[in-house]
Amino acid sequence: MSKVETIIVHGGEKPDPITGAVAPPLIRTKTFKQPEFGKKAEWEYGRAQNPTRHILEEKLAAIEGGGKAVAFSSGLAAETMLFLTLEAGDHLILPKEVYGGTIRLLNNVFSKYGITYTQVDFSSKQEIRKAITPRTKYFFIEALTNPSLTPIDLKSLQDLSKETGIPVAADMTFCPPCCTRAFDYNADIIIQSISKYLSGHNDVLGGALITKDLALYERLKLLQKAVGAVLSPDECYRAIQGIKTLSIRWQRMSESALKIAQFLESHSKIKKVLYPGLENHKGHEIAKNQMRNGFGGVVSFELISSTHEKLKQFVDKIQENGIIIYGESLASPETLLAYPYTMSHGALPAEVKEKLGITRSFFRLSIGLENADDLIKELEAGLEIYS
């Protein structure tokens, strides 16, 4: 079997049989001519099927190590489709820290349909077991939590899933398949934000679900067609091309992120640094065992001051030269400084954010493809405001 780096380039693709074109075809059509009266065709209508989207879905399944993929218009649309396969009264078990958009989706949309959840410390099997109910349908986890970057022990969870019969839904956005393949740990369904590491160029908004459960796959395909939250052919095309450089981008970002994390860790104006590649990081040994080719491009840190004026000065200063950009998201070629308190976790109550360590002086830095030394210079300039 080919290595993942090779599959990332060739998976789901082959040269066009008519023209020999190596790049995949971009098919923008809304509808398709039907070849014969009364006979169902492979291609009917863009909401249900599209050849470019099909290639992307084949590639996603290939790089994850099998199964079937379904692409949607965003990562949250993908989560929504998964939750739509649940029934009223069903229950989920989540880590204590999870993407704020997921909590917003569950609280503001699915709670009215009777979907409930419990958040627990996933480092404790005892806590997880205590949260299980007869209606628990999934352990819904992020392999690397956002924004504290705490790894979930996938092998331990695999054992618990086998013991209890409760399937695992794994959000692998922070751990793409060049780093970790959740199917290696018998995950039942993988959630990916195509917008992040996969497409990698800050120009695609998309999400996907990948599963080896064919019955679940058929339900998801029906939802894709019925709801219509599909990824456009143009974005599918850009995602296909972006995925081909995933391994190279991941390794480069990981190398730079470790260097920057070490710099921040040694700086007197930084209260704490969170990065799974640091030996003192909570869960470093777990990350070392289940993450390959680096630890990713995201570094979180907390400044020593939390006054609004100081924070604004810091953010303004490091943007002066246009190398670091203040904005949401991650895994783009451009380095992005995010502020989880009002961005990714802004929907959470203040007391919940504080318990999670998401204070007013907490930032998340997504390292891009710039030279790491240039990024360190910008950070140094910003930190000088505390001198």
3-class DSSP assignment, residue 169: strand
CATH code for the part of the protein at 4-243? 3.40.640.10
387 pLDDT band (50/70/90 cuts)?
low
Average pLDDT, the chain: 95
First to last CA, the chain: 56
Q: Look up residue 385 and give its amino acid.
A: I
Q: How would you classify residue 294: left for phi > 0, otherwise alpha for psi between -120 and 50, otherwise beta? A: left
Per residue in 173-228, pLDDT (tens digit) is: 999 999 999 999 999 999 999 999 999 999 999 999 999 999 999 999 999 999 99
340/343 Cα distance (integer angstroms):
5
Q: Enumerate the β-bridge partners of residue 151.
A: 144
Q: Which residue has the higher pLDDT, 300 or 346?
A: 300
185/1 Cα distance (integer angstroms):
18
- List the structure tokens of 28: 């923008």
3-class DSSP assignment, residue 303: strand
CB 42, CB 33: distance < 8 Å: no
64/330 Cα distance (integer angstroms):
21
Same fold, 4-243 and 246-386: no
Mean of pLDDT values over 54-73? 98
Per residue in 302-324, pLDDT (tens digit) is: 999 778 898 999 999 999 999 99
CB 82, CB 191: distance < 8 Å: yes
Per residue in 268-277, pLDDT (tens digit) is: 999 999 999 9
Of 201, 293, 207, which Cα lies nearest the Cα of 250? 293
Per-residue model confidence (pLDDT) at position 311 = 92
Domain ranges of the chain: 4-243, 246-386
Third-level CATH fold of 246-386: Aspartate Aminotransferase, domain 1 (3.90.1150)
- List the structure tokens of 182: 């959740």
